[in-house]
């Protein structure tokens, strides 16, 4: 259980460090307005969008997990889905064009759609299902309604913990760029995690399938 919650936090830090999740947008907003408050507002907007995306992905699985007899099959299917997405992103490096059409002032919407498009929420699904499986094995097979209520709360806690870790990691990088290094340094040292991102999805999905089997 500790390892699974650690994976939730580490994946949040990983998402926060990844420029594709939006922290450079917070830096550019602050530099444009020349206000620290703009940096904080942008980070809050990005975090809210990411949290909504994580919750939107996890809540349907929190309802599916109430099917206790199918819990193993659901975990395997979720792992395979994550692997498929990872393989797709590994060979298709183009970023979704619709993200470029969203106004820079609508950061919450951009963050929500970016997290969906890059599979950030799906990466959490196998970890979340593993947490639920351990919780269920400790408590035994309880009533479906009680199980659903418990898994709702776990799904929300996973989304919140993950988003907090993402915000702290991305916020630290954004603050460093804004206060000390500047946007020019960022443009010269831009790093791309697309391949690592795709491989990490495949790894998480593979671990999930192996654990379920």
- Output the pLDDT for position 67: 56
Written as six digits, the tokens of 210 are 């192996």
Q: What is the secondary structure of 52-65 as a DSSP string?
A: HHHHHHHHHHHHHT
What phi and psi, each to the nearest 5 degrees, are found at residue 98? -65, -20
> Per residue in 70-80, pLDDT tens?
767 777 888 88
Rounded to the nearest integer, the mean pLDDT of the chain is 78
> Cβ contacts of residue 194 below 8 Å, gap of 6+?
20, 89, 93
The answer to whether the CB of 22 falls within 8 A of the CB of 177 is no
Average pLDDT rounded to a whole number, residues 179-201 = 70
The rounded distance, in Å, linking the Cα atoms of 185 and 105 is 23
d(CA 49, CA 71): 29
Model pTM score: 0.74
d(CA 90, CA 202): 9
Mean pLDDT value of segment 79-92: 84
- Return the structure tokens found at 50: 């990411």
Contact 194, 19 (CB under 8 A): no
Counting residues of the chain whose pLDDT is more than 70, the rounded percentage is: 74
pLDDT surpassing 50 at residue 166: yes
20 HSE (CA, 13 A, CB side): 23
Q: What is the pLDDT of residue 101?
A: 59
The pLDDT of residue 142 is 43
Alpha-carbon torsion, ordered 189, 186, 52, 45, to 10 deg: 170
Say what the pLDDT of residue 197 is: 76
- Asked whether 83 and 209 are in contact (CB, 8 A), the reply is yes
Which is more confident, 68 or 153? 153
> What does the block give as tokens for 42?
């942008």
Inter-axis angle of helices 120-139 and 71-91, nearest 10: 160
Instruction: List the chain domain ranges.
Output: 2-212
105 DSSP 8-state letter: T
Q: What is the pLDDT of residue 134?
A: 62
Residue whose tokens read 């994946």: 11
């Amino acid at each position: 259980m500790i390892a699974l919650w650690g994976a939730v936090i580490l994946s949040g830090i990983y998402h926060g460090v990844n420029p594709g999740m939006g922290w450079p947008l917070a830096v550019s907003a602050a530099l444009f307005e020349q206000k620290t408050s703009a940096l904080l507002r942008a980070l809050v907007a990005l975090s809210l969008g990411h949290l909504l995306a994580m919750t939107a992905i996890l809540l349907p699985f929190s309802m599916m997990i109430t099917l206790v007899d199918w819990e193993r099959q659901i975990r395997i299917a979720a792992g395979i889905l994550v692997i498929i997405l990872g393989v797709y992103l590994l060979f298709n490096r183009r970023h979704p064009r619709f993200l470029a059409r969203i106004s820079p002032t609508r950061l919450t919407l951009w963050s929500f759609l970016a997290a969906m498009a890059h599979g950030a929420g799906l990466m959490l699904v196998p970890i979340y299902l593993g947490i639920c499986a351990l919780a269920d094995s400790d408590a035994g097979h309880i009533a479906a309604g009680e199980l659903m209520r418990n898994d709702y709360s776990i799904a929300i806690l996973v989304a919140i913990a993950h988003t907090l870790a993402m915000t702290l990691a991305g916020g630290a990088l954004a603050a460093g760029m804004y206060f000390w290094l500047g946007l020019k340094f960022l443009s010269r040292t831009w790093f791309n995690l697309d391949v690592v991102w795709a491989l990490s999805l495949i790894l998480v999905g593979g671990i999930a399938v192996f654990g379920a089997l």
